[in-house]
Amino acid sequence: MEDLTPATIAAWTTLMTVSRTLLEQVEGALKAEGLPSLSWYDALLEIEKSGTEGIRPYALKSKLLLPQYGTSRLLDRLVAAGLIERLSCDDDKRGYSVRITEDGRKLRRDMWPVYRDTLRGNFEDRLTDEEIKTLNSLLGALGTTIND
C-alpha cells in the first residue's frame, strides 16, 4: 500500500487546522458577546427556515451533522430556553416537530451580526472573490466525492 503524497497530507492538515481555527474564532466572538454557541445559531436557522409547520428532529439532525443524542439534547435546551416549541404530529403520535418561537427568531437575529463580522474579518477580507470561488469549487468537489 502506498503512502499519501506529502501534498495531500499538508492540504488535509491545513484544511483541518483552518476549519478548527475559524470555528473557534466564531465561538469565541459569540461567547464574548454573551451569546450561545454556534450550534444554537445553526439549529435556530434551520428550524426557522422550515416555516410554520416546523421540522422533525431526524430531518434537522441531517442538516446539523450532529449525532442523534446531540440533536436531542440541543433541542431540549432550546425548548427549555423558550426558543423553540414542540408540535405533536397528527400522523405519528410518538413523533413531533419543532418550530421556532419569536424569542428564538430574535436570538438568531442577535447572533448573526457577530457571526457575520467574524466570518468577514477572518475569511472574506483575507481572500479575493476569485479565491473564494475557487475554494468553494474545490470543497464542493470534495463533498461530491464523499457522497458518492
* Ordered per-residue pLDDT tens for the chain, 148 residues: 689 999 999 999 999 999 999 999 999 999 999 999 999 999 999 999 999 989 999 889 888 877 788 889 999 999 999 999 999 877 766 789 999 999 999 999 999 999 999 999 999 999 999 999 999 999 998 876 554 4
For 111-132, letters b (16+ CB in 10 Å) and e give beebbeebeeebeeeeeeeeee
The reported pLDDT for the residue numbered 145 is: 56
Q: Where are the domains of the chain?
A: 19-125
CATH architecture of 19-125: Orthogonal Bundle (1.10)
The reported pLDDT for the residue numbered 25 is: 95
The reported pLDDT for the residue numbered 1 is: 60
User: Which amino acid belongs to residue 65?
Assistant: L
